[in-house]
Structure 1
Amino acid sequence: MSVDLWDGALIDAEIWHARAGDVAREFRYRTRYVALPVEALEADALPIRPDRAGLWRLRRRDHGARDGSALTGFIRGQLAEAGLADCVTTLVTMPRGLLHGFNPVSFWLARDTAGLRAVLAEVSNTYGESHLYLCRHPDNRVIERSDRLGGDKLFHVSPFLPRDGRYVFRFDTGPGRFGAWVDWIGADGEVRLSTSMAGPARPLTRASLRRAALRHPFQPLRVTGLIHWQAAKLFSRGIRYRAKPPQLDRTRSEAIETERKNV
């Protein structure tokens, strides 16, 4: 049976990063994400419930407006500004663990009966800051698996990359899988960093959620450790460390420009 992300799902994702240019570097690791239909989540109709205790938790103040307010109100407001108020939404995210919570990126998926219309990428850094990139076509037509949507990079993530250039996004929302690919294109027009998060989706039930949480209760802590370990490796190879600049006042932007297929 093929799993629809809009019904809720567990995603066994492989994370991949590949750096080019000043130094060639590649690493992979696995982690588990959940796909949560937002309206069902807010109605306490899913195995994981917002702001409830557990080995895996989801806190409203970790997402959206970050003030603990309703997630449905947040995403409806974001989509209404783009003329997509009639879409239904699913949040793809990594839950908080037993002792720690850190989620480098979450994806709010928006679709109607025709297909995927937009993806709001919610990017966070280890300094507690976040930025929203709304990925869509200018005319809001359906986003196909092969479409590549580009926009300016406006948020500091890695101390080993400048805050400039462009991102190019691509998505696969199943059924039965989830995939997100993001390339960073430097000021020279070349792809300098390629990243992906992709894997199969399986049903989200109380039993499957419990098993995953018991096996991986500390996964956000593990992800944070892996990020810092890779940073140490880059530093040891002489890559320039860049101090974090002040975050821009603009914390939401769009990726709506169709990019070349060979990017």
Structure 2
Amino acid sequence: MSTTPAPSPNHTSPARFYLGEVVHTRHQDLSHKLRYTVFSMFLDIDRLPEIDRLSPVLSVNRWNIFGFFEQDHMPEGYTSLRQFVLAALTDNDISFDVGQITLLAYPRFLGHAFNPLSIFFCHDQQGTLRAVLYQVRNTFGQWHHYLTEVDPSSDALAHACDKKFYVSPFIHMDCTYHFRVRQPGETASILIRQFDRNGPVLTAAFKGHEKALTTRSLLWFALRYFQGGFKILAGIHWEALKMWRKGAKLQPRPEPPAQLVTRMSADTITYGKEVQ
């Protein structure tokens, strides 16, 4: 695999912001829905010095009103995000000449961030998307990754994976995730449906629209939405309390997988009919 990225083929700016809505809908025996506005950052992981110069209120690896810290998205022992992602690909037998790697995630706000889901998009030297790495966190300080190779001849980013990592305290482990994702352009779109033997359990979606990354727009985001890890975590726990009051039962929490990355494979359970 190459350690030198090709010139960024998909966008000229090293970073973008997306403003949109997250919607979670619980199905089956317990009906529950939440909707809230968020902003996400989409960035080229090899252009962090450029991002650090985009605005006086946005910094990389140092405190600011908005910030991006590499350590938030890689385990200890790695010196860069590229090194970590290349290792994940190599360790799971995915081999191609890696070029641009982009990341969709929440930035830090006033030094804090909580990312339930971050997504790395891995392209080859010609700019074709070849792999996607999903980074999932729970509220217990744990994380896990799901990795899939992408068919370069297909425009559809649709795939499935057995649930390997405990996230919601009210959803059991015998489930399958079905992913449908669009590479960020003018819009960013993520749809994740969770199935068990009885059908859909949870639908989680995000759709955002690109916003200009300027100091003025960043300050507007700060004043209008005040989004930080503390706000997101508080919202998660508040919704959990409402579900508990509706009668949701706590599910036992197993230890996270011993390996940091699960590669999606053809032998997934694939409950549901979302992925062919």
TM over 0.5: yes
State percent identity of aligned pairs. 25
Q: Per-residue displacement from partner, 1:103-145 (whole Å, max 9, x unpaired)? A: 11111112243632222110001111100011334xx42552x
Q: Which runs of 5+ in 1 are unaligned?
A: none
Q: Are positions 1:130 and 2:135 aligned together?
A: no
Residues 144, 256 of structure 2: 8 Å contact kept: no
CA RMSD in angstroms, aligned pairs only: 2.6
> Could you tell me how far apart the structure 2 residues matched to 1:5 and 1:225 are?
36
Residues 60, 67 of structure 1: 8 Å contact kept: no
Counterpart residue number, 2:7? none
> Could you tell me how far apart the structure 2 residues matched to 1:72 and 1:169 are?
24
Residues 160, 241 of structure 1: 8 Å contact kept: yes
> Could you tell me how far apart the structure 2 residues matched to 1:256 and 1:181 are?
19
1:98 pairs with one of 91, 106, 110? 110
Cα offset, 1:82, TM superposition: 1.1
> For residue 130 of structure 2, what is the amino acid of its counterpart?
R
Q: Are positions 1:172 and 2:185 aligned together?
A: no
> For residue 88 of structure 2, what is the amino acid of its counterpart?
Q
> Could you tell me how far apart the structure 2 residues matched to 1:59 and 1:45 are?
11
SS of the equivalent of 1:195 reads: strand
2:164 pairs with one of 154, 169, 172? 154
TM-score, length basis structure 1: 0.86
Cα offset, 1:221, TM superposition: 1.8
2:81 pairs with one of 32, 48, 71? 71
TM-score, length basis structure 2: 0.82
> For residue 263 of structure 2, what is the amino acid of its counterpart?
E
Q: Per-residue displacement from partner, 1:34-83 (whole Å, max 9, x unpaired)? A: 00100001565553443111012222221122457311211222234411
Residues 21, 208 of structure 2: 8 Å contact kept: yes
> For residue 171 of structure 1, what is the amino acid of its counterpart?
V
> Could you tell me how far apart the structure 1 residues matched to 2:163 and 2:84 are?
23
Cα offset, 1:165, TM superposition: 1.5
Counterpart residue number, 2:17? 10
Q: Per-residue displacement from partner, 1:5-36 (whole Å, max 9, x unpaired)? A: 97421011211111111212111111111001
1:24 pairs with one of 27, 31, 50? 31
Q: Structure 1 pair 191/78, CA: closer, same or farther in 2 (3 Å)? A: same
Counterpart residue number, 2:61? 51
Q: Structure 1 pair 36/142, CA: closer, same or farther in 2 (3 Å)? A: farther
> Could you tell me how far apart the structure 2 residues matched to 1:79 and 1:206 are?
36
> Could you tell me how far apart the structure 1 residues matched to 2:63 and 2:52 are?
16
SS of the equivalent of 2:120 reads: strand
> Could you tell me how far apart the structure 2 residues matched to 1:240 and 1:34 are?
34
Aligned residues: 257
